[in-house]
Amino acid sequence: MTVESVKPATAEAPELREPPLAGGRVPLLGHGWKLARDPLAFLARLRDHGDVVRLRLGPKTVYAVTAPDLTGALALSPDYIISGPLWESLESLLGKEGVATANGPLHRRQRRTIQPAFRLDAIPGYGPIMEEEAHALVERWTRGEVLDVTAEAFRVAVRISARCLMRGSYMDTRSERITSALATLFAGMYQRMVVPLGPLYRVPIPANREFNRALADLHRLVDEIVADRRASGQKPDDLLTALLEAKDENGDPIGEQEIHDQVVAILTPGSETAGSVVMSLLHVLTEHPDQVDKIREEVKNVVGDRPVAFDDVRKLRHTANVVVETMRLYPAVWILTRRAVTDTELGGYRIPAGADIVYSPYAVQRDPRSYERHTEFDPDRWLPGRSPELPKYAMTPFGVGNRKCPSDHFSMAELTLITAVVANAFRFEPAPGSDNRTRIGITLRPRRLLLRAVPG
* Interface residue with ligand HEM, options 67, 74, 99, 340 (CB under 6 A): 99
67 is a contact residue toward ligand HEM (CB under 6 A): no
Tell me the per-residue interface mask from 292 to 321 with ligand HEM, x by CB under 6 A, - otherwise. ------------------------------
447 is a contact residue toward ligand HEM (CB under 6 A): no
- Considering only residues 321 through 360, tell me which ones interact with ligand HEM, judged by CB under 6 A: 332-333, 336
436 is a contact residue toward ligand HEM (CB under 6 A): no
Beta strands in 222-379 (DSSP E): 336-340, 344-346, 349-351, 356-359
19 is a contact residue toward ligand HEM (CB under 6 A): no
Q: CB under 6 A: which stretch of 66-74, 188-196, 305-313, 392-400 binds ligand HEM?
A: 392-400
35 is a contact residue toward ligand HEM (CB under 6 A): no
* Interface residue with ligand HEM, options 156, 254, 335, 405 (CB under 6 A): 405
- Burial 37-73, CB ≥16 within 10 A → b, else e: eebbebbbbbbebbbbbbbbbeeeebbbbbbbbbbbb
Could you give the CA distance from residue 423 to residue 372 in angstroms, rounded to a whole number? 27
Strand partners, 54: 21, 63
Contact, 351 vs 340, CB < 8 A?
yes
> 72: closest CA among 390, 400, 344?
400
Could you give the CA distance from residue 378 to residue 443 in angstroms, rounded to a whole number? 23
When the beta carbons of 159 and 452 are compared against ligand HEM, the nearer one is 159
Q: How far is the CB of 193 from ligand HEM (least distance, A)?
A: 15
When the beta carbons of 30 and 63 are compared against ligand HEM, the nearer one is 63
268 is a contact residue toward ligand HEM (CB under 6 A): no
Q: How far is the CB of 277 from ligand HEM (least distance, A)?
A: 4
398 is a contact residue toward ligand HEM (CB under 6 A): yes
406 is a contact residue toward ligand HEM (CB under 6 A): yes
> 273: closest CA among 405, 107, 437?
405
CA angle 190, 201, 360 (to 5 degrees): 15
Q: How far is the CB of 238 from ligand HEM (least distance, A)?
A: 12
Long-range contacts of 52-55 (CB under 8 A, 24+ apart): 52/19, 52/346, 52/347, 52/349, 52/351, 53/19, 53/20, 53/21, 53/22, 54/18, 54/19, 54/20, 54/21, 54/22, 55/21, 55/22, 55/30, 55/31, 55/358
C-alpha distances in angstroms, 255 versus 243, 356, 399? 10, 31, 29
* Interface residue with ligand HEM, options 77, 273, 286, 344 (CB under 6 A): 273
403 is a contact residue toward ligand HEM (CB under 6 A): yes
Q: How far is the CB of 264 from ligand HEM (least distance, A)?
A: 10
418 is a contact residue toward ligand HEM (CB under 6 A): no
* Interface residue with ligand HEM, options 270, 347, 379, 446 (CB under 6 A): 270
Binding residues (CB under 6 A) for ligand HEM: these are: 82, 99-100, 111, 161, 165, 265-266, 269-270, 273-274, 277, 332-333, 336, 397-399, 403, 405-407, 410-411
